[in-house]
Every structure is written in C-alpha cells, then in structure tokens.
Chain A
Amino acid sequence: MSTLHLLVLAPFIMAIFVPFFYKGFRRIHTGWFVLALPLLLFIYLLRFIPIGEPLQVVKETMDWVPSLGIGFNIYLDGLSLLFALLITGIGTLVVLYSIFYIANKKDEPLNNFYVYLLMFMGAMLGVVLSDNLIVIYVFWELTSLASSLLIAYWFHKEKSRYGAQKSMLITVTGGFAMLAGFCLLYIMTGTFSIQGIISFFAESGAIFNEALFLPAMILILLGAFTKSAQFPFHIWLPDAMEAPTPVSAYLHSATMVKAGIYLVARFTPVFGGTPEWFWIITSFGLLTLIWGSISAIRQVDLKAILAFSTISQLGLIMALLGLGSASFIDNVAEVAIIAAIFHLINHATFKGSLFMVVGIVDHETGTRDIRKLGGLMAIMPITFTISIIGIASMAGLPPFNGFLSKEMFFTGVLEATTLNIFNVQTLGFIFPIVAWIASVFTFAYCMIMFFKTFTGKYQPEKLEKKAHEAPIGLLISPIVLASLVVIFGLFPNMLSYTIIEPAMQSVLPYVSDPYINIYHWHGFNAELFMTIGVVLFGTVVFLNLKRWQETTFFLHERDPLNRFYDGGLEGLVAGSQRVTNLQLTGLLRDYFAYMMVFMILLLGWTFFRYDAVAFNFVDVSEISPYLWIITLALIAATISVPFIQHRVTAIIVVGVIGFLIALLFVVFRAPDLALTQLLVETVMVVLFLLCFYHLPELRKESFKARFKMTNLIISVGMGAIVTLIAFSAHAARHGLSFEPISQYFVENSVPLAGGYNMVNVILVDFRGLDTMLEVLVLGVAALGIVALIKLKMKEGQDI
C-alpha cells in the first residue's frame, strides 16, 4: 500500500467519519470538516507536475485477486494526473461553495450529501488512477451510484427521483457493456492491465484482424458514451440537473461526465489508428456537438441551457479525440489531441464557474427561468463580472481560454480534412461545416444566457426573493475559476509544458518528445475568419430567436428522444408484469405442475441423451400368493383414492394403504420398518380424523375437463418416469463388481456397538447424529403445530 493507494481510499475513509462530525458538531457546517481533504489531496498531487523535466510515471501495485490477474494497481501518468488534479481541485472549490449553498438547516441531511460526494471523489480518483480494468469497472459503477444518489439528494421531489433513476439506468447499462468489452480484451490479450494491453497490441500489430476486436471496441465505447452523455444517451444529463447546483458543477460538468472522455483517451493507444474507432467517435462526437448546441437555445431554464451546453462540449472533445486518433497513421492530426486536452481543462474552468453563477442567481432570486430574470447587472455586479468571463470563454471570444481551444478545434477539423486515410477525402468536408454550425448555436445560447439574465428589465414582481449580491463565501469558488479562465487565456503555455504535454504523451505514446506552444495570434487564417463568422451569424440567430422559437422543433423544451426512454421503461415494466402474471398465477396446482413437468422433461431427456433405459429380469424372485394379495389390494386402494368423495372414507383408505405397506415391510424382512409404519399410521389416521372433523366435506373436482386431462397426463408421465428409473436401476445392479457397504454393519455391529439389531445399531450408534437431528426436526414440527393451533389473532388481522 503506497501513498497513492491511500490517496484513492482517503475520501472513503473520510466518508466514514462524516456522520460523526454531523452528529457531534451540529452547529458547525459539516462541509468545513470535509473541505480539508480535497485541498490536501490537491496539494499533494501538485508535487507530481513536472517542471523542466519529463513526467515520472508512477506505478504502485497491490494484489487483490492475483489468481485472476486483478490487482489494485496504481498507474499515474500525464492523463491520470490531469484528471486527478481536476477531481481534487474542482472538488475543493465545490465543497467550499456547497457550504454556503446548502444551508445548515435542522432537517437538511448534510451528512448524506458529503458522504455521497466523498464516495464519488474516491471512486473517480480510483477510475483515473487504476491500471486494472476490473478495478476501473468497480470504481466506474461506484461513480454512477454516487451520481444517482446525489441527483436524488432532495428525494422528496418527484423529478429528482426520476432523474436519478434515469441516470442510473443509462450509465449502469453502459458500464455493464463496458465490462463485457473488458472481458473480450482479456480474452484477446490475457491481461487486465491497460498498459499490458497497450504493449501487447504494440508488439503484435495483426491484432486488428481479430474477430473480437470490433465487438470489444463497441462495447467499451458504449460505456464511454453513456457516461459522457453522447448522443443518443445524453438524455439523462438534463434530468440530472435536479441535483443541487454544486453537484451539477462537479459531477455533471467538470468530472464524472468526463470519465467517458478519459476512457476514450486511455484506449486510444489500443484502438487508435483503426477506421472504426476514428469514424464512430468522430461522428458521434460531432452529432452530440450539434444536437446539444441546437437543443440548448430552446431552453428557458439556465441550468438546462448549461446541461445541453455541457453535452455539446463533451461531444466536441469526443470528436477531437476521434479525429486525433488518426495521428497513429498521419501525425497531422496531433493538434486535435492537444485541442481535446486543452479544451477539457478550459471547459472545467468556465463551465464550473458558470454553474456556480447560475446557482448563485437561483439562490438569490429564487428562480432560474430566463423569462422571469433580467436586469441583474446592476444588482449583482460581482456575479455579473464572473459570468461575463465564463460566457465569453464559452462563446470562444478572446482573450479567454475558450477562444484558444476553440481556435485549436477549428485547426483540428480543418487539418483532418487533409487526411488521406479512412475515406476522409470524400466525407471529411463535413467536419468543419458541422463544427462551424455548432459554434454558431453555441454563440447564440451564450448570448441568451448573458442578455436574458443580466440585461433588460428587472422584474422583481416575478421573483420569489428580492435580488441582491451573493455573500462572499458563495463567490470565492467562481471567482477562483474565473481567474483561471483569464490566466489560462493569457498565459496558455504555463499549461502546455506541465500538463498538456505529459497528458498527450499518454494518449499518443509514440510521440517521444512533444513540443506544444499555444499562440494567440496566427495571422489572418481560416480559423480566425471562422470565428468572425460565428460571431456574426450567432448574433443573427439570437436576434431572430423569436422566429426560431415558432418552429415546432423549438416549441418543446424536452428532448424528443426522451419519448423512447419513457416508452421503453413503461413497456419494460408492463412486459415484465405480464410475464410474471402469466406464470405466477397464485394457484398451487400450477406451481406443482411446473415442477413435475420440469422433472419429467429433465429426467426423460437425460435418459434419452445417455441411452440409459435398461431392463434386466434375470434373477427376479418368485412371487408368493400373500404378496399377490397384498400388492393387488394396495394397487386397488391407491387407484380408488382420487374417486372417493367422502372424507372419512378417503382417510380410511389412505390408512389402509399405509397398513398394507407395513405388511409389505414384513414380507421384505424389515421388522423395524413394519413396527414403525404401524405406529405412525395409527397415529396419523387419528390425527387426520381429528383435523378433518373441522375441515369441510370433499367436493367433486371443479376443474375444467382440459385441466383434468393435463393433470392426468402429468401424473401418468411422472409414474412412468419413476418406473423407468426403477427398472433401469434394477438392471444396473447386475453390472456392479463391488460389495455393498452394508457388509460393514454385519461385521461390526456386535464388536463396535454391542447390538444385535443392525437397523437399531445404525440408527442410534453409527448414524447417531442423524437421528439426533431428526428428533430436532420433529421438535420443530411439533412447535409449529402448537403455534398454528394456539395462535390467536385479533379480528381482521392477517398472518
């Protein structure tokens, strides 16, 4: 166990103590205790940032299930470090923000909130720092669970529960597909270690031809796409906005939804360079990008705008990773990977700050509806300043960091069109067009957010609270993030050597010495003109918003894809209900019939399959006249039972059968059995008569004829199967070459146990423990009987 293991486990350990803090120091906000942990982890992780020298990759191993090749192995490289810094850094700010956002009221379950948040933090660190696929899967599902619990934090709200269930169902389904993909990779490579898989694929290039290669890729991408809200799985993210705003800022924009991006980046060295990987990721990414940005402009809830904006930006990063994967063949696409990593950081900063700003607006005015908001510029000047920075960065305006990564994004898509592989020559022209259109809409929704909230007329009569500037505690975190937006925008190269280069090396391991320098000014090139076009056309879209909103597509706030989810879920529930009702009829007869039919089929099939039916009548013994009489009487009595309509007659006939069996025991030289049977049968008949005194008269079976026929067939089949077993077993006895073990009892009864009655000796001596437990069983049955008879219940009370 190393310090890095401890780093992953620390949030979980902390989570154990949170309820004690909560109960013990009720007056202090629990968040203050929690705050120290992510801060410490962040500072600790900063140590790993390389300054002036290449990043030292850290590997730490710890066995978990060594026989299956599963180990909690830490692998910290550039990519992991970037994510770990995001998780702990944004985590610190979010915890600080949440202290002021969620008030320490009497019935506010703060302990739940921080336990889930810490659980998420630990799980997310586990995902990005583990090298073992199974461990990654476990932590991956834990993040889904934590996310779902956090969405449902205000569980008394119907919408929260709906959102939590939706996110859980979609992400866990994807996670499960991912597990299957991991297993396929294991089958191909024989290891669960990502680094092991990468080197395995690097050594044997022909692996792309394997039959399992494509299924494994698609299954893993399903996991990544569901988690990172890619089209068409993005529908869970807008509903996840029911979570408290700190959670939305943390999980649903900065970290968890980027787990899918992480996974794709991690697996780029494995799958990168294949046309499937390139096309699937690029096309889904671009589709998500444009779908998200178009959907965003028809939202009226500020958080919903941000949710669709996040979806669209995730699509952007995904598309860049897809385009960049081509650099395994043609290194012209490397800039796409750089842009992806850079935009990942930028998105976390500006989107984080914007979520927090929206939270502040919500907190101070009581609404997030842009139809009610307006004119907050003068009332909330600091909030306004932060959001103008965030929005400008999101829109891609200079000098903020969003501008730089958006320019790089345009460079990436433009350079991708020059690729001469994977049929890009014919279809590649689509990339810049889609990217440009999506950017126009992005610019438009940025303008909506800005103008509808902060300019226009202040409408205090529509607001629940009187708007005023937020307290300083709420403002610290967004101020920090907004300053980062400015700093990264002005000095982007402080990131390029320290973070982007090492991260890029993890994605493209063949680049031995990357050199990245980010410029603000590239001259009057295509990218600049594209940006100018975006600003112009974005403004046009915004000014004509009214006209857009009259088209049918824009009348619906909800994503039309939700219909499939809701319908599918309803159908699933109704379908399972129908299947259940079909078999669970509540009728004992049906359950018995299932069992019998199953037994008949199973045994019959086994007999057929192994050709086990055998008959052998070589040494059948003579039948004495007594036996004839007893047996025929027995058979006659047995057959008559179902026809008897009178209960006392039925009991007596069954009693007679019992006594006849006792007689058979006598004939077969089993005196003890005969005695016991006589005794038991006598008591049983008395018991039956006693009980039946209270029971109603037997009636004629009122089952339908069809039912009776099935019953008859099943019973005859059952009898036939048992007869068959008996015949075959009897025949099989003759082939046996070994002595029955009974000889042991014949020889040892007297010397070892001192008894002459062998059956008794076996029962009380050789198998004494059995008999003792049998007595116990009888005792339990007796207690049950007493309870059933004596139990008195009040009127109307059920058992």
Chain B
Amino acid sequence: MEILMILTVGVLVSVSTYLLLTKSLLRVVLGIVLLSHAAHLLFLTMAGLKEGAPPLLGEEAASYADPLPQALILTAIVIGFGVTAFLLVLSYRTYKEHKTDDLEKLRGSADE
C-alpha cells in the first residue's frame, strides 16, 4: 500500500510542477492546488499507514492511527484553502486589470 501511495504522490508532484511551469495563470493556480494535495498525502504516508482505529479514544481500540500528523495536515488543508482562494481572486483581478491571463504578456514593462 505504501508503495502505491508513494507513486501516487510522485505523479501528483510531477503533474503539479508541470502545471506551475505553464503560462496560463489558471493552470498555475490548479498546479498549486494539486501540489498541496501531494504534500498532504506524502505527509500521511510518511507517518505510516498502519491500520489502527481512527484516533477516537471512544473506540476503546488496542491501537490508533497516529493523531499528530492528522492534526498537522488538517491545519495545512485549511491554510492551503486560504492560499488558493487568495490566488484565485488575485488572478481574477490581474485579468480584470490587464485583460490577459497569459504570463508571457504579464512580464511587466521594460523600465521596471
């Protein structure tokens, strides 16, 4: 299972990097979304995918899944959401101002 997850993470990272390197603002934002997914999955896999009970003490199980990485990932998901939302609106505004979402044309003027 771990091997499969690691390979999935690898694919996610590759695709998101590719999207980051394109020149459509839209794809760049999508790339960032995918990259944060990859990071979360990677982190969870690193912590070990042992098949314990969910980290709810009420289950009275013999072993639980590690709660600490889950807590950290939860924080990361929320922060990732904030970043993505901001980037989206930023690209919306950029498009409104400059009438293009092509990064090639958004290079800035020569005197800057």
Contacts and interface: CB of A to CB of B under 8 A. Distances in A.
Interface stretch (A25-33, A377-385, A548-556, A686-694): A686-694
A729 interface: yes
Contacts of A639: 11, 15
Given A592-B21, A638-B12, A661-B40, A587 B104 contact: yes
Interface residues of A, number: 95
Contacts of B55: 669-670, 757-759
B65 A729 contact: no
Interface string B25-65: 11110100110011011101110111111111110000011
A684 B95 CA distance: 19
A294 to B, nearest CB: 46
B65 A623 contact: no
A777 B79 contact: yes
A576 to B, nearest CB: 16
Contact of A749 (B40, B54, B57): B57
A664 interface: yes
B58 A730 contact: no
B4 A627 contact: yes
A329 interface: no
Interface residues of B, number: 87
A750 B67 CA distance: 14
B42 A722 contact: yes
Given A638-B12, A719-B10, A788-B90, A712 B57 contact: no
B1 A620 contact: yes
Most-contacted residue by chain A among B14, B20, B92, B112 (CB, 10 A) = B14
Dominant secondary structure at the A interface? helix
B65 A654 contact: no
Interface string B89-111: 11111011100111110111000
Given A730-B2, A759-B67, A714 B21 contact: yes
Contacts of A566: none
Contact of A745 (B15, B67, B95): B67
Nearest to A586: B107
A635 interface: yes
A642 B67 contact: no
B48 A638 contact: no
Contact of B70 (A670, A723, A782): A670
Contacts of B71: 759, 762-763, 767
Interface string A660-680: 010011001111110011001
Contact of B45 (A586, A623, A726): A726
A669 B22 contact: no
Contacts of A664: 41
B65 to A, nearest CB: 4
A582 interface: no
A634 B81 CA distance: 20
A788 B89 contact: yes
A757 B65 CA distance: 12
B13 A718 contact: yes
A237 interface: no
Contact of A670 (B6, B54, B85, B88): B54
Contacts of B54: 669-671
B17 A715 contact: yes
A720 B48 contact: no
Contacts of A727: 6
A736 B6 CA distance: 20
Given A664-B41, A723-B10, A621 B49 contact: yes
Contact of B24 (A641, A658, A701, A756): A701
Contacts of A740: 66, 68
Contact of B77 (A677, A687, A712, A784): A677
A6 to B, nearest CB: 50
A740 B55 CA distance: 15
Given A631-B5, A634-B8, A722 B13 contact: yes
Contacts of B42: 722, 726
B10 A623 contact: no
B21 A621 contact: no
B44 A668 contact: yes
A785 B68 contact: no
Given A587-B23, A661-B40, A680-B81, A617 B96 contact: no
A622 B81 contact: no
A343 B63 CA distance: 92
Given A635-B8, A669-B53, A745-B68, A719 B17 contact: yes
A785 B81 CA distance: 13
A629 B48 CA distance: 21
Nearest to A726: B6
A261 B66 CA distance: 73
Nearest first, the 8 closest Cβ-Cβ pairs linking A and B are A719-B14, A586-B107, A723-B10, A758-B67, A715-B17, A715-B18, A781-B82, A762-B71
Given A684-B84, A741-B68, A782-B82, 6 more contacts: A588-B103, A623-B1, A661-B37, A758-B57, A770-B75, A789-B92
Interface of B: 1-15, 17-28, 30, 33-34, 37-38, 40-42, 44-46, 48-58, 64-68, 70-71, 73-75, 77-86, 88-93, 95-97, 100-104, 106-108, 112
Interface of A: 585-589, 592-593, 596, 617, 620-623, 627-628, 631, 634-635, 638-639, 641-642, 647, 650, 654, 657-658, 661, 664-665, 668-673, 676-677, 680, 683-684, 687-688, 691-692, 694-696, 698-699, 701-703, 711-712, 714-716, 718-720, 722-723, 726-727, 729-730, 733, 740-742, 745-746, 749-750, 756-759, 762-763, 767, 770-771, 774, 777-778, 781-782, 784-785, 788-789, 791, 799
24 contacts: A586-B107, A586-B108, A621-B49, A627-B1, A627-B4, A631-B4, A635-B7, A638-B11, A669-B52, A671-B56, A672-B74, A687-B88, A701-B23, A702-B104, A715-B15, A715-B21, A722-B9, A726-B10, A757-B57, A758-B64, A759-B74, A762-B71, A763-B75, A785-B85
